[in-house]
Amino acid sequence: MNNATQQNMNRVNPKWDPALDKWLKENLEAKCDPNELTDILLKKGYARETIQVHMATACGWQQWSALNLLLQKDAADLISIMVRSGVKDTDAQQVVQQQQKILEDNASHPFIQAALSLGRKINKQEWVLKTVSEMNDLSESATEVPRRSNLSSDEFREQYYAANRPVVITDGLKNWKAMELWTPDFLKERFGNLNVAIQTNRQSDKHYQRNDNNLRTNISLAEYVDMVKSAGKTNDYYLTANDSAKSNRPLLEALQPDMQPTLPYLDGNAPNSTGFLWFGPAGTVTPLHHDLTNNFMVQVLGNKRVRLINAIQQPRLANNLHCYSDIDLDNIDYERFPELKHVKIIDVTLEAGEALFIPVGWWHHVTGLEVSITLTFTNFRYPNEFTQNYNTFNEI
Ligand SMILES: O=C(O)CCC(=O)C(=O)O
């Protein structure tokens, strides 16, 4: 079939058109107004029904309403959310009714039965998590992280690690040479000839954290130090743990003698005991995510702001991909993420010389307030391997 014939068919027949789907997605991604796009397509001769079906799919509304119907959400509420998001009332009704009809018409199909059963299981699990989090919120620890010193390994395990609660350790680095020595100039002078991997051009990609592999570049540490020193406030470049996991081993290994003694909660002989390095200017932002391990965040130079959210709030955090969320804690869109109103966000300023324990699953958003050097460690003396049963690395 040639192109013209295909186009003519689509004009009379509201059937699926991949080219139209692609065109709509590209234009919506470029923030074009859906109503203006509809007008353009009407003028081109597309039937309104064809446009509606493709628009609802391109905006993700069909799948969104199907999912919410499986979760037993009220159809009228779904329509009203769509209308508040800019969808025309009649279009919203049509999309939801279409999905309701598909559910009804196929009610006895084993896949629909299974999907409904999954919906009930998810509802049950969310009820448990939300109820437990409501109880947690009654505690003072829901809004602040305690600062502790002289904390033994057993006390740490009992009160924080096993309890999945964060804590700031204030005296863990007091004998570290790093605390006296490490400045950008010191790093340049001692290790400036080493090559390091950093991320650059982060501002060019709104998903710079998810796409960090595409933003990696190699330069000498001396060059990077100069960039950091002359940067002022920027999030455009940053040396992060993901870079240091691979290319920055030689630098981390050279720095080991300054990182002694090992914190009493960590195993200095574990194979991963060198830790991970984060080094950047003021203004770096690591957006909201959670780790798959317990994590010690050790602040050697500069202050950082860390915002923490309890792991059991996961159902409210729009966790749409692996360990990431679209929520921007610097600019919260409560219209888009209304569930966030029920979430307590704990704000911690981590000062140089302090170490923050971030329990596994806890969400965090980290901002560099000054030029900053951070080390992170996962080599705890207690079990910390939770990736074997994790299989949601992609879209959720
Ligand atoms: O220090 C940072 O910018 C981020 C640290 C972090 O998010 C992590 O270690 O998981």
Do 214 and 308 have their domain in common? yes
Which atom of ligand 1 approaches the CA of 278 most closely?
1
Which atom of ligand 1 approaches the CA of 241 most closely?
9
How many independent structural domains does the chain possess? 2
Average pLDDT on 34-48 reads 88
- The finding on whether 291 has its CB within 6 A of some atom of ligand 1 is yes
- The finding on whether 277 has its CB within 6 A of some atom of ligand 1 is no
The model's confidence at residue 364, banded by pLDDT at 50, 70 and 90, is very high
Question: Which residue, judged by its Cα, is nearest atom 9 of ligand 1?
Answer: 376
| d(CA 286, ligand 1 centre) in Å | 6
Which atom of ligand 1 approaches the CA of 280 most closely?
3
Measured torsion, CA atoms of residues 141, 146, 152, 155, in degrees rounded to the nearest 10: -10
- For helices 75-84 and 89-105, give the axis angle rounded to 10 degrees: 150
Kindly report the number of other CB atoms within 10 A of residue 12's CB atom: 10
Q: Is 127 within a domain?
A: no
Which atom of ligand 1 approaches the CA of 291 most closely?
10
Q: Which of 242-246, 265-269, 382-386 has the lowest mean pLDDT?
A: 242-246
pLDDT of residue 2 exceeding 90, the answer is no
Q: Is 131 within a domain?
A: no
Residue 354 near residue 171, CB atoms below 8 Å: no
Q: Is 224 within a domain?
A: yes
Backbone dihedral region of 171: left (phi > 0), alpha (psi from -120 to 50 degrees) or beta?
alpha
Average pLDDT on 377-386 reads 97
pLDDT at position 11 is: 46
Do 217 and 321 have their domain in common? yes
Average pLDDT on 33-40 reads 86
The model's confidence at residue 243, banded by pLDDT at 50, 70 and 90, is confident
Mean of per-residue pLDDT scores for the chain: 92
- The finding on whether 235 has its CB within 6 A of some atom of ligand 1 is no
Which atom of ligand 1 approaches the CA of 367 most closely?
3
pLDDT at position 244 is: 66
From 374, 375, 378, mutation site for ligand 1 pocket: most ligand atoms within 8 A of C-beta: 374
Average pLDDT on 349-358 reads 98
pLDDT at position 13 is: 46
Do 301 and 155 have their domain in common? yes
Residue 78 near residue 45, CB atoms below 8 Å: no
Question: Residue 350: which CATH number?
Answer: 2.60.120.650
pTM beyond 0.75: the answer is yes
pLDDT at position 59 is: 85
The model's confidence at residue 331, banded by pLDDT at 50, 70 and 90, is very high
Do 250 and 193 have their domain in common? yes
- The finding on whether 274 has its CB within 6 A of some atom of ligand 1 is no
pLDDT at position 10 is: 46
Residue 297 domain boundaries: 143-389
Average pLDDT on 74-96 reads 90
Do 101 and 148 have their domain in common? no
Of the three residues 59, 89, 105, the one that is the final residue of a domain is 105
| d(CA 99, ligand 1 centre) in Å | 41
Do 100 and 153 have their domain in common? no
Of the three residues 83, 105, 127, the one that is the final residue of a domain is 105
Do 80 and 158 have their domain in common? no
Q: Is 215 within a domain?
A: yes
Q: Is 130 within a domain?
A: no
Per-residue pLDDT tens over the stretch 121-139:
999 999 999 999 999 999 9
pLDDT of residue 88 exceeding 60, the answer is yes
pLDDT of residue 1 exceeding 60, the answer is no
Q: Is 35 within a domain?
A: yes
| d(CA 137, ligand 1 centre) in Å | 25
Average pLDDT on 56-79 reads 92
| d(CA 366, ligand 1 centre) in Å | 6
pLDDT at position 33 is: 82
Which atom of ligand 1 approaches the CA of 364 most closely?
7
Which atom of ligand 1 approaches the CA of 297 most closely?
9
Do 81 and 160 have their domain in common? no
Residue 160 near residue 367, CB atoms below 8 Å: no
pLDDT at position 236 is: 97
Q: Is 371 within a domain?
A: yes
Measured torsion, CA atoms of residues 349, 302, 169, 257, in degrees rounded to the nearest 10: 160
pLDDT at position 335 is: 81
Q: Is 121 within a domain?
A: no
Per-residue pLDDT tens over the stretch 182-238:
999 999 999 999 999 999 999 999 999 989 889 999 999 999 999 999 999 999 999
pLDDT at position 5 is: 38
pLDDT at position 29 is: 82
Do 292 and 348 have their domain in common? yes
Do 364 and 238 have their domain in common? yes
pLDDT of residue 294 exceeding 90, the answer is yes
- The finding on whether 295 has its CB within 6 A of some atom of ligand 1 is yes
| d(CA 324, ligand 1 centre) in Å | 13
Do 188 and 260 have their domain in common? yes
Do 193 and 70 have their domain in common? no
Of the three residues 54, 76, 105, the one that is the final residue of a domain is 105
pLDDT of residue 9 exceeding 50, the answer is no
